[in-house]
């Protein structure tokens, strides 16, 4: 997360539950970069994930399918 709420978080979906840890994990499937405002819009359904990705508000490094799985889980 970039901006005022800047930080690095490890997020995993396991057994249908979301787990969030406040550290970087180097053996990850994907890395998502987004600012705090847009993250809240995404989670609250006020920002379409595809639009966020295509306009550069959400950047994905790695497995795009894994990133989209996380985004679908958050909706």
Helix (H, G, I), strand (E, B) or coil at 11: strand
What are the φ and ψ backbone dihedral angles of 14, each rounded to 5 degrees?
Answer: -140, 130
Give the CATH H-level superfamily of domain 10-74: SCP2 sterol-binding domain (3.30.1050.10)
Q: State in Å, rounded, how far the first CA of the chain is from the last one.
A: 18
DSSP state of 52: H
Kindly give the confidence (pLDDT) of every residue in the chain, 75 residues in length, as a single tens digit, with 9 standing for 90 and above.
666 667 888 888 889 888 888 888 888 889 889 888 998 898 888 999 889 989 999 999 999 898 888 877 776
C-alpha atoms less than 13 angstroms from C-alpha of 50 in its C-beta half-sphere: 0
């Amino acid at each position: 997360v970039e901006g005022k709420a800047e930080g690095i978080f490890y997020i995993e979906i396991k057994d249908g539950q979301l787990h969030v840890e406040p550290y970087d994990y180097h053996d990850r499937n994907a890395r998502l970069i987004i600012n705090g405002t847009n993250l809240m819009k995404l989670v609250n359904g006020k920002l379409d994930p595809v639009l966020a990705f295509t306009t550069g508000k959400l950047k994905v490094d790695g497995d795009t399918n894994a990133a989209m799985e996380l985004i679908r889980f958050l909706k």
